[in-house]
Amino acid sequence: MILNVFTDGGSRGNPGISGYGVVIKADSKTIYRESKSLGIKTNNEAEYYALISAIKWIVQEHPTAEKIVFHSDSELVIRQVTGIYKMKALNLKPLLQQVHSLLSQLSLPYDFKIIPRELNVDADKLANQAMNKL
């Protein structure tokens, strides 16, 4: 089973009211959805919290999947996680460390893909629902 993970975080203001959305699909069937309000955060913090939440769920619920593909429209987060960009923002450094710690708990292959916002509609909708709750 291949897990396709779609994450999105948003902030109304930067920092501002923020939230995230996570959609996880096994092959093409949605098996998990999450929407969470975060209070006042930056957009990039919200993007990281979405990714952290998704990895935590996989570690607990599907640690034996065949492969994981993480999809995000956050070029910054994906490039920081994969080491293409260096971490400069002090507020994001502990979040990046948490992502790497969680990824080390997975004993299966994973990949990260930057996707256009139009292909991340479901996670974006959940992030907006979370922001609307505040």
Domains contained in the chain, CATH given: 2-132 (3.30.420.10)
Burial class (CB in 10 A: 0-12, 13-18, 19+), 99: buried
pLDDT digits (tens, 9 = 90+) for 28-46: 899 999 999 999 999 999 9
pLDDT digits (tens, 9 = 90+) for 44-75: 999 999 999 999 999 999 878 899 999 999 99
Q: How many degrees, rounded to 5, is the angle at CA 50 between CA 42 and CA 23?
A: 140
Does the pLDDT at position 87 exceed 80?
A: yes
Does the pLDDT at position 134 exceed 80?
A: no
- The confidence score (pLDDT) of residue 94 equals 98
pLDDT above 70 coverage of the chain, percent:
100
d(CA 67, CA 26): 10
Q: To 10 degrees, what angle do helices 121-132 and 43-61 make?
A: 110
